[in-house]
Structure 1
Amino acid sequence: MDLAALRPELLAHCYRMLGSIHDAEDAVQETLVRAWRGYDGFEGRASPRRWAYAIATRVCLTALDQRTRRALPSGLGTDEVAWLEPLPDALLHTGTPDPAGLALARSGIRLAFVAALQHLSPRQRSALVLGDVLGWPVAEVAEALGTTPASVNSALQRARAQLRRLDLDEDQIAEPAPGVLDRYAAAFEAADLPTLAGLLSADVTLEMPPRPDWYAGRDATLAFLRTNVLRPGAWQLIPARANNQPAFIVNEADGTPHGLQVLDIHDGRLTRLFAFLDPALARRAG
């Protein structure tokens, strides 16, 4: 197998573990270097794909051990978690991954889910990603992590319990009905607050990494946007995808990249808006 062809799905895997594109890209590069160096000693007890995933997982665990922890704005709770970045879907379509690889890359990368993963310890996170997201048997997870099946089962139980406490229901993050995204983009560009109000859920939240402040509820979100963001003709919103969910590249009126918005939508209303204020993300998503 061409190990380089695994890059997009390994990027998604490392992103689930690390929550950062930049850290994930570094981890993938280190994974491929280790895999190429060790390929002659590959014994074939697992498929080349699973062998590469096991290497990537160990690389990520080392990175997590060395990471300085920072707080996520709302954090889906009160614990400190690593800073979260979105993953533009465009980065998962490089090269020609096979359908199985593309399915693996798209699974389990919803932004709220990846944020929730950051609450888990590195061992719990790796067990959950390998066991529940990728569907590996417990014995193979144990071999990849250099531990016992009993230890993996214990980590899985604790990880699943933690996600239940965070009240995460990924099934509620649905694709929007036709027209919702068009109406949102048109209202945002026109600073049309009444239309925006009709598109936001009552308990919508707005986060703007790397800014530490965030807003909960329709009234607070609209008040912030009205005062600090919205001006007719000030912004261009270009449809994109990130984390396998709807997103917009946000440019200034003259086309200068400004950032990337990632949206959670349920029952035709926006329930969560992540506005990442990083021009580099806008460029990469395009």
Structure 2
Amino acid sequence: MPLADHLRELRNRLAKAMLAITIASVVAAFYSQELMDLLSSPVPACEKGVLETGGKCATIAYNDLLSPFTTTVKVVLMAGIIVSCPVWLYQLWAFVAPGLHKSEKKYTYLFAAAAVPLFAAGAWLAFMIMPVSMKVLLSITPDTAANFLEVDKILDFSVRMVLIFGFSFELPLLLIMLNAAGVVTGRRMISWWRGVVMGIFVFGAVATPSTDPLGMVALAGPIIVLYFIAVGISLLNDRRRRRNDPDAELDDDEASDLDLTPGDIGEIESVRASHTLPQQADGSRSERLNGYDDIT
């Protein structure tokens, strides 16, 4: 299509995606109280200044008059984006898919089918870790002080934890994609394992909003396991690639092994005969010179 038609299609796709997000957000507004309770559930709540289970606690508070309204709008909008993700992801796919080949579409389906459960697993793990992380952070509070947590801060903390854990679980899928594209081999990835393990632990220490050792280990441990799973899948893919094409892993300036075994003359002639030009419209074959037709 011309550029103007592409832009019009993009506008229509974006309009449908925004409409789906708006409808889902309006529906989520009727459950705003339940969403706020879910958001504050990881916080160890105080009852008369003492945590029910013992230890430190916190009280959720708003710092100004508009905070209840703005926080509710943020939570409702975030819920609308999450609930309507099948619609706007489909709109994105429908805009990109016509430019992909059949094989590329096949791989895209496979990677998308794997990306969704991986992100969901990371988000679920983050939600399981948040209560423990908050208790660890609040345990440092002196006995003479009290904790009053703003809802905006809790929302920011929860969203960052979910996004960091969710996208971090996509790292093995990215490695498999690079291996399928021929950018990196499984043997090369296994040679990086020491640096990768160290880098994952450093990333877990820096990226997690809680900055506690529990959150670092909870993030780094599953990613390391998924990394070695990705390495195993890449090694199997490399073996399959070598079996189908022994020269697939050669560099552009590296010569392949030549098969100098003499062949049967009859087989060579049959191969030559199979490469003749197709018949013309009148049933005859065009004249050839040095293996090519006269027009070529």
Using the size of structure 2 for normalisation, the TM-score is 0.21
Bigger radius of gyration: 2
Higher strand proportion: 1
TM-score for both structures, normalised by structure 1: 0.22
Specify which structure has the higher proportion of helix: 2
